[in-house]
Amino acid sequence: MAQQPMYRRIAEDLRLKIESGVLPAGKQLPTEGELSEEYGGASRNTIREAIRWLSSRRLVGTQPGRGTFVAEQVKQFNVPLNRPIESEAFEAAVREQGRVPRMDPPKVEVQSAGAELVSELQVEPGSSVVIRHQERFIDGGPSSLQTSYYPMAFVDGGAVELLQAKDITKGATKYVEEKLGIKQAGYRDRLRVRSPNAGEVTFFGVPDDGTVLMVVTNRTAYTAEGKPIRFTVTVFPADRNDFIFESGRVPPLDSSN
């Protein structure tokens, strides 16, 4: 097996020191000259490459005129993917882990159904769908983005709050059930991993070079008769979310892990 280049060996050693707490958050790294001496006379270019590697993974940050400092590490949120991930369930899961959830009021729009929505919601091509976008936060930091799509027929049938840019306190799923008698019986998830788009780079504050990937869940909810009632896309940055599947009787998850 080929040996790692020197800059990677230095970066990995510094990474271990950061993750173990030897170099705590806020600690200034030694200067390039000091690191060069510490790592056997490595060149300054090699040291800079190592720092760039750490910086791209948000382990350190450079402050012009001051130096390079260990970054505050993002606390992980355990995403329970075998439970609902919509608004009320998200809030409950965050509180269960001793943290503080927040969701901004939804942004609502109406669009014509493209090929994906025609397939997922079984609506006619070009028919109107209601789209509800929501930004979600944990402890004040951006956590995930969620977009849900509903057939306009639900609004025509009386579920008019789907068009209002406000939270539906009881949850949209329960609201649709009460208004229209359409009850969710199950859902199917598809998970994909991709690089962030420009909007996600800005919202989550991640690098635009793909070093922090997005985990995207596409969830289609169904009635007992197999009729789709909602299509929800949730985007989670992989640097602050752990994805948990549980089955059967298991002990409570230690959220500190």
pLDDT, tens only, 101-123: 999 999 999 999 999 999 999 99
pLDDT, tens only, 136-186: 999 999 999 999 999 999 999 999 999 999 988 888 999 999 999 999 999
Helix (H) or strand (E) holding 11: helix 6-20
Question: Which pLDDT belongs to residue 208?
Answer: 81
pLDDT at position 254 over 80: no
pLDDT, tens only, 205-244: 887 878 789 999 999 999 999 999 999 999 999 989 998 8
Q: Can you give the length of the chain in residues?
A: 257
For range 40-53, the mean pLDDT: 93
Q: Just give the CATH number of 6-70.
A: 1.10.10.10
The amino acid at 227: K
Question: Which pLDDT belongs to residue 135?
Answer: 96
Helix (H) or strand (E) holding 143: strand 141-151
- The domain locations on the chain are 6-70, 77-244
pLDDT at position 74 over 70: yes
**Could you count the other beta carbons within 10 Å of the beta carbon of residue 46?**
21
Question: Which pLDDT belongs to residue 212?
Answer: 85
Using CA atoms of 165, 94, 189, 74 in order, give the dihedral in degrees to the nearest 10: 100
pLDDT at position 255 over 70: no
Q: Are 212 and 196 in contact (CB under 8 A)?
A: yes
Question: Which pLDDT belongs to residue 11?
Answer: 93
**Could you count the other beta carbons within 10 Å of the beta carbon of residue 131?**
19
Question: Which pLDDT belongs to residue 2?
Answer: 62
pLDDT at position 36 over 60: yes
**Whole-angstrom Cα distance, residue 44 to residue 236?**
37
Place of tokens 């001051």: 66
Class of domain 77-244: alpha beta
